């Protein structure tokens, strides 16, 4: 409608420059416009507002709804899973009001584990929440049942249903969707994920190739070696560097074998006699061969040490050890891990290189080596914690909390296993002293890890200083509310 376009134009340039005349309006509005002009007099602003109101109502009265015959009228399929109990539904409502996404995830996981779904009345709120918090999408769809699956197809903003064919998504999806489906596939079937990537590799741009190589870290295994080693001809420097980085984390690659060949010659057992020559002891000798393959330095091993008290050769050996699977030493020396560590610790240089063995044990997981390395009282091997049993892990964390609290706080926050009461008390005693850094948001975002059993211990974590003590008191009230909801979630799915 041209007259409505003219109204918008007037709003942009001002009523002094342009205002609609009677002739510019639809004929059916001419009489009304004449009456408005008489009442407004010379006040252009009032006349403009009256015209706008008149045309808006006229425009809306004449609108017809868009008719699309091709839109289907299918209905949702009958539900196959039972709805959660009324108690669980009420708790869900309270969890949504609490605005704690991790507590909502906790509820959804309990619901999914019990093979139940939430009532349809929650679909709008939960689908909108899942749009904001993408990590909730899979759980929300799973717990929404057939009604949720049906709703995904009716609202493009909620269309994150994951029941589609994954291979089709890999072929036709967006870059983010393809990365997600490749990562999921690599978790369950690494070989299939690699096959998909090889099929489309030539059509990907450099940025896409780099992104997919990062995903390839999931499920990385010796079956990937041939593909990764073929990427040395890639034009992109970043792509080649990432391929090399992956090979440095893959036992059996030609690069790892090259490192081992150099170390086999560089680290040898020798006998040392005492001053009087009456006794001898077995120690390790560290000496690089006269010629080191240039390919080693091309792979990222640095030639020169940045520390004056550490020679270049010593620095090179340290780097090579850190990228060599610890099991290599068992084959090289024909000794058990504990005997190998004892052998390294007989000299100052050898003990220094045990730090590199600890790094290697994190890159090439081995629970036996991990448990052995954490016995070192002078070093903190945080990357090895994930390989420890729950008992070993807690003992190690509690032992080093005072020495490396900030680092350990970050580490335990990334775990997926609920903390024990003892560990939680240690965390709270540390965080309660710094309320400016560890606000209520911190506890809300980690509520899924905090055990309900810690409630009686909260007051025992109160700091001695007055300001942190008052802040902690407020935090405790908040924690009790969230932990009460968490306990209700547990009870509602186990009653």
> What SS3 state is found at 104?
helix
Mean pLDDT by 10 residues, the chain (495 residues): 70 70 70 68 73 74 57 76 95 94 94 94 92 88 89 78 71 87 92 95 94 94 95 94 95 95 94 65 90 94 90 95 96 95 93 95 93 88 85 85 80 84 92 92 93 94 93 95 95 88
Q: How far apart are CA 120 and CA 149, in angstroms?
A: 11
Q: How far apart are CA 466 and CA 207, in angstroms?
A: 53
Per the CB < 8 A criterion, the answer to whether 200 and 208 are in contact is no
Sheet strands (E) in 178-279: 267-273
> Which pLDDT score is estimated for 64?
57
The number of residues making up the chain comes to 495
> Which pLDDT score is estimated for 279?
63
Token pair listed for 69: 């015959």
Half-sphere exposure of 270 (CA within 13 A, CB side): 12
Token pair listed for 306: 């940045």
Q: Sort 1 into a burial class: Cβ within 10 Å, 0-12 / 13-18 / 19+.
A: exposed
Q: How far apart are CA 262 and CA 266, in angstroms?
A: 6
Q: DSSP letter for 456, please.
A: G
Angle at 41 between CA 40 and CA 43, to 5 degrees: 70
Angle between helices 237-247 and 206-215 (to 10 degrees): 10
> Which pLDDT score is estimated for 66?
53
Longest dimension (CA), the chain: 125
Q: How far apart are CA 85 and CA 495, in angstroms?
A: 10
């Amino acid at each position: 409608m041209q007259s409505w376009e003219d109204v918008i134009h007037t709003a942009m340039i001002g009523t002094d420059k342009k205002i609609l005349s009677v002739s510019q309006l639809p004929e059916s509005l001419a009489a009304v416009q004449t009456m408005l002009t008489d009442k407004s007099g010379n006040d252009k602003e009032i006349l403009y507002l009256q015209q706008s109101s008149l045309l808006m109502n006229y425009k809306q009265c004449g609108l017809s709804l868009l008719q699309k015959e091709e839109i289907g009228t299918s209905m949702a399929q009958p539900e196959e899973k039972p709805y959660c109990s009324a108690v669980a539904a009420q708790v869900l409502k309270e969890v949504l009001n609490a605005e704690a996404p991790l507590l909502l995830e906790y509820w959804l996981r309990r619901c999914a584990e019990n093979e139940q779904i939430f009532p349809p009345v929650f679909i709008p709120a939960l689908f909108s929440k899942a749009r904001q918090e993408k990590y909730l999408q899979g759980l929300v769809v799973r717990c929404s049942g057939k009604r949720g699956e049906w709703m995904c197809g009716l609202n493009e903003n909620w269309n994150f249903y994951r029941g589609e064919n994954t291979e089709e998504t890999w072929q036709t999806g967006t870059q983010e969707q393809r990365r997600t489906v490749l990562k999921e596939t690599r978790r369950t079937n690494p070989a299939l994920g690699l096959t998909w990537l090889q099929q489309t590799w030539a059509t990907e741009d450099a940025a896409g190739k780099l992104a997919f190589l990062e995903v390839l870290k999931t499920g990385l295994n010796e079956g990937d070696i041939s593909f990764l080693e073929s990427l040395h001809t890639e034009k992109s420097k970043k792509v080649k560097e990432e391929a090399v980085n992956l090979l440095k984390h893959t036992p059996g690659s030609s690069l790892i074998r090259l490192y081992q060949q150099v170390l086999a010659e560089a680290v040898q057992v020798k006998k040392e006699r005492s001053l009087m020559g009456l006794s001898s002891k077995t120690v390790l000798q560290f000496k690089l061969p006269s010629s080191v393959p240039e390919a080693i330095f091309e792979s990222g091993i640095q030639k020169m040490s940045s520390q004056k008290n550490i020679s270049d050769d010593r620095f090179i050996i340290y780097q090579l050890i850190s990228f060599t699977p610890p099991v290599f030493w068992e084959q090289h020396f024909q000794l058990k891990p504990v005997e190998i560590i004892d052998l390294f610790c007989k000299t100052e240089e050898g003990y220094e290189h045990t730090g590199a063995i600890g790094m290697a044990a994190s890159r090439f997981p081995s629970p036996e080596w991990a448990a052995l390395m954490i016995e070192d009282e002078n070093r903190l091997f945080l990357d090895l914690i994930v390989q420890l049993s729950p008992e070993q892990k807690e003992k190690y964390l509690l032992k080093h909390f005072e020495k490396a609290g900030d680092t350990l706080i970050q580490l335990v926050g990334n775990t997926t296993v609920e903390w024990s009461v003892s560990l939680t008390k240690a965390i709270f005693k540390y965080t309660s002293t710094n309320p400016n850094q560890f606000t209520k948001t911190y506890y809300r975002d980690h509520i899924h890890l905090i055990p309900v059993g810690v409630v009686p211990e909260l007051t025992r974590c109160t700091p001695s200083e007055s300001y942190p003590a008052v802040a902690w008191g407020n935090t405790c009230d908040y924690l009790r509310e969230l932990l009460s909801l968490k306990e209700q979630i547990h009870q509602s799915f186990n009653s």
